Amino acid sequence: MSPLTLVLIGIGLFLLAGVLSWALRNHGALAQAAAGVGGVAGALIGLWGAGAALVTRATYDLQLPGSMPGSTLHLGLDSLSAFFLLPVFFGAGVATLYGVSYLKHDQAKRRIGRTWFFYFLLAASMGLVTIARDGLVFLIAWEVMALSPLFLVLFEHERPDSRRAAWIYMVASHLGAACLLVLFLLLSPDQASLDFSTYATSVDARTVSPTLLFALAVLGFGSKAGFVPLHVWLPEAHPAAPSHASALMSGVMIKMGIYGIVRVLALLGTPEESWGWALVAIGASSGILGVVFALAQHDLKRLLAYHSVENIGIITLGLGLGVVGWARGETELMVLGFAGGLLHVINHSLFKSLLFLGAGSVLHSTGTLELEKMGGLSKRMPVTAGTFLVGAAAIVGLPPLNGFISEFLIFMAGVAGVGTQSASVIVSAMVVVASLGLIGGLAGACFVKAHGTVFLGTARSDSAAEAHEVAVGMRFGMMVFAIACVLVGLGGCFVVPLLAAPLTVIVHQDAALILPPLLHAADSLGVALTVFAALFVVLLALFGVRSLLAKKQPAVEVETWGCGYPETTPRVQYTASSFAHPITRDLSSVLRTKESSVDLESLFPKRGHFHSHAPDFVLDLWLTPLFRRVARLAERVRVLQQGTVHLYVLYIALALVFMLMWLR
Amino acid sequence: MSEVLTTLLPSLVSLALALGLALWMLGLLARTKARFAGRAGAPLMQRYRDVFKLLGKGAVYSRTTSAIFKASPIVALATTLVALSMVPLGEVEAAVHFDGDLFVVAGLLALGRFITMLAALDTGSPFEGMGASREAHFGALLEPVFLISLLALARLTGASSLTDMMQALHRMDAASTLPVVVPLVAALGVAYLVENSRMPVDDPTTHLELTMIHEVMILDHCGPDLAFIEYAAALKQWLFAALLVGVVLPIASVPVWASVAVGVAGIAVVTVAVGVVESSMARLRLLNVPGLILGAGAASVVAFLLTGMVH
């Protein structure tokens, strides 16, 4: 069977699972079973198809007659599509397993049928987006993909913040879709055929400037990917959805924005160098602002959502260097930059899904996502804590996990960049390396804060003290992602050469040209693997030494040293906000954190309190006033709408007269 | 065989010297500071005695802690040790070197710091949380400074492994590289002070927990765990000193065994210099440390930009 057929069967099974679980919504257990079986089967078959397409590096094409005259339904599968299908199927499959277990106690409610329906609709439409080969199919799939999460965000529709989140999400995603509509019309040489094959061949015939097309793509796809300042919907929407759905949205759906940009780059051919600078600037600002906002959060899912903005920034930094290298003809820079960006797409889908599932488990067992109410969960939820730690170390880019591998590629692209002769390339390479370093350091601080306040120390509230480990299905989902993070990290030297296949599709160059820089990086990673093996041996040896020493002098258990003060309570612990305070204070001009407190005064102080909230300044200070102004303008236009038929007849007549004069 | 003798053996010997002499280096630093203060100072070998004494003691663990707390000293020591094997001592090749090894070194050091900070939060102690918070703050700001400095070296020498960079640097005309080396030494010097909790950033000898950074993070570690942490700190200090020696070392073409000796001598010089800095400066207020790191960042960018002038 052709890989494309397998992928289509996978997508079909997703749809079937969604429809079935909706139809069986009155029988909770059956709906759950349909979702579980359909989701896993679809994922396995789809992964098989995508994997086969990546291995053969061939292109598969399917044209079906469309319903409208002269239109065809054009689908295709090349290495680039197959590459982006991997996170779609893997993420959706594993998150389904987790979700079946996660929704078990909601089984009696009818809303789980609806949740599964839109969950699978989202997964299937993402699959369709990657294999669409004409503008119409793409836009329809895109719109389905954009709308189905809306209903997932509205899972708890009785909550006002869920409705607000859904509203912001819908506005953001439709503003993006508007740009895409224009983009696909302008891409077409004669505005008649929307088939991708005509886009690619019409580079010279095109009248529109390619830079305009690129800008439209960045705006349209960037609002989905979450580029700052188009990211405002992410921290609202992702926390509102059920956790397996947030994993799919944050882990996979935002990558479709990256897919779109990469696909448009492939269609446009050799880029301008300035596009690369634009991507580097967007990547640096998204990456740094994303992590800075994350540091100021004390809701676990909001924090993770801001880290998605950060990681999209890292991916974009890689793509930016790739575009600069492509425009300049610097092969090594181009290959390593694109390879790092693309691999980070996969890596982020693994660790971010893992972290969202971990947040879901925490929510499931404590009933809260508020960091300041947690603590000490690692003793009661060892599997969740352990897998969350793997995800945290991976997202920070620590060796030997997968995040390190993709960041290593981008760093090496930076080194390749400073080795060139062009000043602009050298400066952009330095900006990339410096921002990546800063992002890594701040992300480290943020995940020490998150993991430390949630899982370590002692419980700060009763609900955290009574937490329990989650069910087997949920643990299994998290463990699969954690193992994948470790495997990609250790197997970096084997994974990196595989990136040649999607790269050839993007830059239309021979694999023989693309492979050497990848193999060189893989060689380095091979040596690094032996270094990690040595690290493991040293760890074991030191552990042995300490165990031997402990035999002579057994360890004693006591209370934490409180500098001689014995009466201690969990409230003396450092909180998440106080941990991040030195950094957020430095950046208070950017963050504009609102703080309100009642200080302790006099010798016998009464209760004091402290409250801080970090609003998203892009939303509150830029976009909200902007939209308010637009709404005020729109009010004025309302004069035209009087609701009297006579007036509308007049409008029609005027329009006709105008048209006749204009088209004369 | 002869190749092994001329390249691998000196690398292994210099690694062994690092493992053996790192504690001596701390003794030298303490002696320098003591002399400045008008005291005789502890014996140079005092740090060895301290570490051996700790190894013989039993561990005491807080009931609050989990596996991370017990793992952190081992991980911190192992990552530093393995990172050290990739850092050349002046002209001598590192035991392991490959293109891009600097990012693995930076990654391993970050891993050690990450788990040390987590272990601090694991105790639930407010003091240790405070230390971890400060460490996270300064560590995050320092990360780009360190990377830009090494990137400047990469651009100057056209190499992408620490060993190749240092060797190529030593083959260049010292007078022409001076405009790069001076700001680079400033940036890496600040990195040395911050990463190793030296004055004016952190005072390793203070007695007040509220003012500490590194020491307060490890307040609950004792016995063999504390020995591991102390040893890891010494190795990390050696690592940064070795980087500084590599950048400022003026000679290249001496026999390989002589360059091992020159490297160790260089470490001693750097250590005494740090002792002088520590003795002659008051500690900065914590609020002013980010300014110092930003200054180092500016120096590293200047170094990077000036590499364009050298050719």
3-class DSSP string for A477-492 = HHHHHHHHHHHHHHCH
A414-420: average pLDDT:
93
**Do B60 and A573 lie within an 8 Å CB cutoff?**
no
Which chain B residues are closer than 8 Å to A544 by Cβ?
Answer: none
Closest residue in B to A528 (Cα) is: B104
Mean pLDDT over A278-284 rounds to 96
How far, in Å, CA of B92 to CA of B163, rounded? 8
Burial of A569 (0-12, 13-18, 19+ CB in 10 A): exposed
Q: Which residues of B touch A397 (CB under 8 A)?
A: 107, 110
Chain A: residue whose CA lies nearest to B145: A434
Provide the mean pLDDT of chain B: 91
Q: Could you tell me what percent of chain A has a pLDDT over 70? A: 97
Contacts of B61 in chain A (CB under 8 A): 555-558
| C-alpha to C-alpha distances, B66 to A300, A574, B113, B215, nearest whole angstrom | 21, 17, 18, 20
CA dihedral B99, B101, B107, B108 (to 10 degrees): 150
Residue with tokens 């780059």: A265
> What tokens does A383 get?
């599997």
B129 and A573 within 8 Å at the Cβ level: the answer is: yes
B206 vs chain A: nearest CA distance in angstroms? 15
Q: Taking the CA of residue A27 as centre, how many other CA atoms within 13 Å lie in the half-sphere pointing to its CB? A: 9
- The torsion angles phi and psi of A612, rounded to 5 degrees, stand at -135, 150
Residue B71 clears pLDDT 80, i.e. is over it: yes
The predicted structure's pLDDT at residue A591: 83
In this predicted structure, which of A27-36, A169-178, A561-570 has the lowest mean pLDDT?
A: A561-570
Would you say A334 and A417 are in contact if contact means Cβ atoms under 8 Å apart?
no
Mean pLDDT of chain A: 90
Q: Report CB contact under 8 Å: B132, A378.
A: no
Mean pLDDT value of segment B148-172? 92
Q: Dihedral, CA atoms, A74, A77, A79, A84, nearest 10 degrees?
A: 90
Is the bond preceding B200 in cis, omega lying within 30 degrees of 0? yes
Query: For residues A251 and A254, what is the distance between their CA atoms, to the nearest angstrom?
Result: 7
Least-confidence region, from A257-266, B187-196, B210-219: B210-219
SS3 state at B14: helix
pLDDT digits (tens, 9 = 90+) for A470-527: 999 999 999 999 999 999 999 999 999 999 999 999 998 888 999 999 999 999 999 9
Residues in chain B: 311
Region A202-231: mean pLDDT is 86
Residues of A in contact with B122 (CB under 8 A): 452, 456-457
Provide the pLDDT confidence category of residue A421 given band limits of 50, 70 and 90.
confident
Sole residue written with tokens 């926390």: A239
Chain B, window 84-143: residues with a beta carbon less than 8 angstroms from a chain A beta carbon: 85-86, 96, 98-101, 103-104, 106-108, 110-111, 113-114, 117-118, 121-130, 132-134, 136-137, 139-143
Residue range A297-333, pLDDT digits in tens: 989 999 999 999 999 999 999 999 999 999 999 999 9
Q: Give B9 to chain A, closest Cα distance, Å.
A: 18
Task: Determine the pLDDT at residue B212.
Answer: 81
- Name which of B55, B62, B99 is nearest A520 (Cβ-Cβ): B99
Tokens of B220: 């609950």
pLDDT in the model for residue A193: 75
- Looking at per-residue pLDDT, the higher value among B275 and A1 belongs to B275
Show residues of chain A in contact with B160, CB under 8 Å.
412, 415
Give the pLDDT band (50/70/90) at residue A206: low
pLDDT, tens digit, 9 for 90 and up, residues B256-267:
788 888 899 999
Please judge whether B132 and A579 are an interchain contact, meaning their C-beta atoms are less than 8 angstroms apart: yes
Candidates A435, A438, A448: best to mutate against B (most CBs of B within 10 A) is A448
Query: Does pLDDT of A102 surpass 80?
Result: yes
Q: Report how far residue B134's alpha carbon sits from residue A581's, in angstroms, rounded to the nearest whole number.
A: 9
pLDDT at A617: 81
pLDDT of amino acid B207 = 74
pLDDT number for residue A662 = 87
Taking CA atoms, A129 is separated from A54, A88, A207, A372, B99, in Å, by: 18, 11, 27, 40, 38
Identify the pLDDT of residue A202: 56
Among the ranges A11-20, A155-164, A419-428, A634-643, which has the highest mean pLDDT value? A11-20
Q: What is the pLDDT of residue A547?
A: 92
Handedness of CA B97, B102, B103, B106 (dihedral sign): positive
Pairing label, strands A72-77, A60-65: antiparallel
Look at residue A68 in the predicted model and tell me its pLDDT. Answer: 65
Name the band, by pLDDT with cuts 50, 70 and 90, for residue A407. Answer: very high
Residue ranges in A24-78 assigned as alpha helix (H): 28-56
Confidence of residue B283 (pLDDT cuts 50, 70, 90): confident
What pLDDT score does A277 carry? 95
Cα-Cα-Cα-Cα dihedral sign, residues A432, B91, B252, A527: negative
Q: Find which of A530, A531, A548 to mutate to test the B interface (most B CBs within 10 Å of its CB).
A: A531
Give the distance from CA A320 to its chain's centroid.
18
SS3 call for A278: helix
Distance, in angstroms, between A219 CA and closest chain B CA? 29
Task: Kindly give the residue spans of alpha helices, DSSP state H, lying in A229-373.
Answer: 234-240, 243-248, 254-268, 273-295, 300-328, 331-366
**Secondary element (H or E) of residue A596:** strand A594-598
For chain A, domain boundaries: 270-546, 617-662
Which chain A residues are Cβ-neighbours of B79 within 8 angstroms?
Answer: 535
Helix (H) and strand (E) counts in chain B: 12, 1
- Mean pLDDT along residues A551-571: 80
Residue A32 corresponds to which amino acid? Q
DSSP lists the bridge partners of residue A595 as A612
pLDDT in tens, A617-629: 888 888 888 889 9
Amino acid occupying residue A55: V
DSSP for A127-196 reads: HHHHHB-BHHHHHHHHHHHHHHHHHHHGGGTTSHHHHHHHHHHHHHHHHHHHHHHHHHHHHSSSSS--BH
- Here the tokens at position A338 are 């694109």
Average pLDDT over residues B171-192: 91
- Is it the case that residue A205 has pLDDT exceeding 70? no
Residue from A80, A63, A61 nearest A71 by CA: A63
Per-residue pLDDT at A355: 96
Select the more confidently predicted residue: A602 or A122: A122
pLDDT given at position A36: 93
Asked whether the beta carbons of residue A441 and residue B147 sit closer than 8 angstroms, the reply is no
Per-residue model confidence as pLDDT tens digits over A230-261:
899 999 998 889 999 999 999 999 999 999 99
Q: What would the 3-class secondary structure string for B115-126 be?
A: HHHHHHHHCCCH
Pairwise CB contact (< 8 Å): B124 & A539 = no
Task: Say whether B121 and A574 touch across the interface (CB within 8 A).
Answer: yes
State the Cα–Cα distance between residues B54 and A121, nearest whole angstrom.
Answer: 61
Selected residue with higher pLDDT from A606 and A405: A405
pLDDT of residue A108: 67
Tokens of B96: 């392991």
| Calpha distance B103→A220 (Å, rounded) | 35
Top-confidence residue, A547 or A601: A547
Q: Which run of H or E residues covers position A15?
A: helix A3-23
Among B52, B57, B63, B64, the strongest candidate for a mutation testing the A interface, having the largest count of A CBs within 10 A, is B64
- Find all residues with CB under 8 Å of B218, minimum gap 6, and list them: B116, B119, B120, B128, B226, B229
Backbone angles phi, psi at A614, to 5 degrees: -105, 100
B79 touches chain A (CB under 8 A): yes
